Amino acid sequence: MKKKSNFKSILKSAKKNIPGISGLLGKRPDMFLKDDSWPTFYKKAKGINIWDLNNKKYFDFSMMSAGTCALGYADPDINKTAMRVIQDGSISTLNPPEDVELSELLIKDNPWADSVKFARTGGESMSIAVRLARAYTKKEKILFCGYHGWHDWYLSTNLNSKKNLDTHLLPGLNPLGVPKGLTGTLIPFRFNNWEDLEKKVKKFAPKCAAIVMEPCRESLPDKEFINEIKRISKKNNCVLIFDEITSGFRLNSSGAYKQIKVIPDIVVYGKTIANGIPMGAIVGKKKIMENSLKTFISSVFWSEKLGPACALTFIKKHKKNNVSKKLILTGKKIKKIWINAAKQNNLQIKITGIDPLASFKLNTKNWPATLTFFIQEMLKNKILAQDKCYTNYMHKEADIIRYKDSCEEVFNRISILEKKDKIVENLNGPIKEMGFNRLTN
C-alpha cells in the first residue's frame, strides 16, 4: 500500500520554518497558486514529468526548474556521470582533472578567451565577473541591463531609487541590508534602447569598470545597438560581460552571443550547463581573469567534481544531439499553440521571447486573475503551466498535443468567463503573485 501523503503537514511546517518556503522566488507556491492547491514539493522527476507527494504525475510546461535541465530531469547520461563521481569521491584534498578538461572545452568553444574560473551558482559567478572587472580597471561603477543575481553589488541599484530595477527584475524591490555606501555604483540602462545608450551608457562609460548585460533577453539585440555597446566598452576600457546564465545553451551549444557575432571580454554560464547539477563558469581574457589571484576569490565547493564532470557530459550530449534545434522547434510549436488557441476563442494575445523561452499575455481586463485561472485549470489537467515555457529536449510530440488540447480548453473557458466578467469569481483562491518583469514585458 502506498504511504499516505503528508503534504499538508509538510506545507504547514515549511510555512513555519522556511521564509517563502522555497530558496528560489520563482518556486514559491504563491508564484503559481495561493490556495494551497499547488503541489509545491516533489518526490521524483524524470524527463518533463514530476511526481508530487501524493504520487500524482504532472507534465512540466512551465519553468522546467528555471531552465536548469535542458536535457530533462534525471537525464540518464548525467545520472551515470554523477553516480560514478559520487562513488569515486566527489571531493578530496586534490583537485578534479575534469576542471581542466572543461576549461579546455570552454576555451575551444569561446576561442577569444584564454582563462576560466568555476563557481556553482549564477549569482556568485556574476559577482566574480564584476569583482574581476573592478580589480582590472580600478574603477567602481557598473553599467548594466537585465537580471544578474541577488548579491549586494546588483541590488545596490535600488539604493537611490526603488524603481531602478522595475524593468530589469521586479517592481519596487527593497535593497534592505545592502550597504548605503554602494549608492550610485550601479547604472541601469534598457536593452536595445538608444535613448539610454546615448544618455547613460555614453555618459557613464568612462567611469565604469564593466558593461554587464544578457546578450539575448526577449530577443537578440539590434546589430547596431550591440556593436555600439562593444565600441563604447572598448573605447572606455570597460569590461564587456555577457551573462549567459539563462540564454546559454538555448539557441546553440554555447552562448547566444554567437548569433550576434559580438565578442565580450567575459562570458558567464550557469543554470543548465550541468543539467541540474550546480555549476557556473566564468570564461574570459587572461589579462582580466588573472586578477583573481591579486584579489581574493575562493570557495571550498568550487573544487568538487560533480559540477565539472556533469558539465562535460552535458555539453558533449548537447552538441551530439543538436539539443538547441529541438528546443527552438518545440518553442515554435508552443507559440503556435498559444496563437491558435487565442484566435479560436477571440482572445487577443501578445507573444514575446525567443523560441526556447517564450511567454504570452492575454489582453483581458484583469491579466493577473486570468493567469491565475489559467494555471489553476491547467493543473486540473495535470499540466504545470505559466505564462512562459522553457522548452525541453524531453518535450515529446504526445506531450505537446496534450498541452495543446489543454490550452485550447482553458482559453475557451477564459473567453466565456471574460465576456461575463466572471474570471475572479471562478478562482479557487487569491490572485497569484506576479513574477519577473524581464520575462513578461
Side-chain-side CA neighbours of residue 266 (13 Å): 34
Q: Shortest CA distance to 377 belongs to which of 146, 2, 19, 33? A: 33
For residues 166 and 158, give the distance between their C-alpha atoms in angstroms, rounded to a whole number: 9
388 binds ligand PLP (CB under 6 A): no
Handedness of CA 188, 220, 214, 122 (dihedral sign): positive
What x/- string results for residues 62 through 91 when contact with ligand PLP is judged by CB under 6 A? ----x-------------------------
CB of 112 to ligand PLP, least distance (A): 21
Segment interacting with ligand PLP (CB under 6 A) among 73-81, 121-129, 333-341, 425-433: 121-129
Q: Is 435 in the site for ligand PLP (CB under 6 A)?
A: no
CB atoms within 10 A of CB 224: 10
Report which DSSP code applies to 58. Answer: E
Find all residues with CB under 8 Å of 144, minimum gap 6, and list them.
154, 157, 168, 186, 187, 188, 189, 210, 211, 212, 213
Judged by CB under 6 A, the residue of 39, 72, 96, 123 near ligand PLP is 123
* Min CB(182)–ligand PLP separation in Å: 18
> Do 67 and 391 form a contact (C-beta atoms < 8 A)?
no
Assess 149 for contact with ligand PLP (CB under 6 A): yes
Closest by CA to 353, choosing from 363, 345, 361, is: 361
Greatest pairwise CA separation for the chain in angstroms = 70
CB of 121 to ligand PLP, least distance (A): 4
| 3-state secondary structure labels for all residues of 68-102 | CCCCCECCHHHHHHHHHHHHHCCCCCCCCCHHHHH
Give the DSSP letter of residue 191: T
Cell numbers at 270, concatenated: 550557469
CB of 54 to ligand PLP, least distance (A): 29
Binding status of residue 153 toward ligand PLP by CB under 6 A:
no
Q: Give the residue with the Cβ less far from ligand PLP, 96 or 270.
A: 270
Q: Exactly one of 59, 61, 118, 147 binds ligand PLP (CB under 6 A); which one?
A: 147
How many residues are listed for the chain in this entry? 441
Q: Does 214 bind ligand PLP (CB under 6 A)?
A: yes
Q: Which is nearer to ligand PLP, 270 or 276 (CB)?
A: 270
Question: Which residue of 11, 31, 69, 126 would you call a contact of ligand PLP, by CB under 6 A?
Answer: 126
Selected range binding ligand PLP among 31-39, 55-63, 120-128, 136-144, rule: CB under 6 A: 120-128
- Which three cell numbers, joined as nine digits, stand for 195? 535613448
Question: What three-state secondary structure class fits 344?
Answer: helix
Nearer to ligand PLP by Cβ, of 121 and 237: the residue is 121
Q: How far is CA 176 from the centre of its chain?
A: 24
Helices (H) and strands (E) in the chain — how many of each?
A: 15, 14
b/e map of 237-254 (b: 16 or more CB within 10 Å)?
ebbbbbbbbbbbbbbbbb
Q: Which of residues 285-344 bind ligand PLP (CB under 6 A)?
A: none
Beta carbons of 276 and 68 less than 8 angstroms apart:
yes
Q: Of 246 and 370, which CB lies nearer to ligand PLP in the complex structure?
A: 246
Q: Which residue shows C-alpha cell 477571440?
A: 346
**Taking the complex as a whole, how short is the minimal distance between the CB of residue 246 and ligand PLP, in angstroms?**
4
Q: Which stretch binds ligand PLP (CB under 6 A): 28-36, 143-151, 228-236, 331-339?
A: 143-151
Q: Smaller CB distance to ligand PLP: residue 146 or 403?
A: 146
Shortest distance, CB of residue 123 to ligand PLP, whole angstroms? Answer: 3
Segment lying near ligand PLP (by CB under 6 A), choices 110-118, 146-154, 314-322, 399-407: 146-154
The 21-60 site mask, x for binding ligand PLP (CB under 6 A), equals: ----------------------------------------
Q: Please identify, using beta-carbon distances, which residue of 94 and 300 lies nearer to ligand PLP.
A: 300
Give me 319's grid cell: 552538441
Near ligand PLP in 247-286, by CB under 6 A: 270
Contacts with ligand PLP by CB under 6 A lie at 66, 121-123, 126, 147-149, 214, 243, 245-246, 270
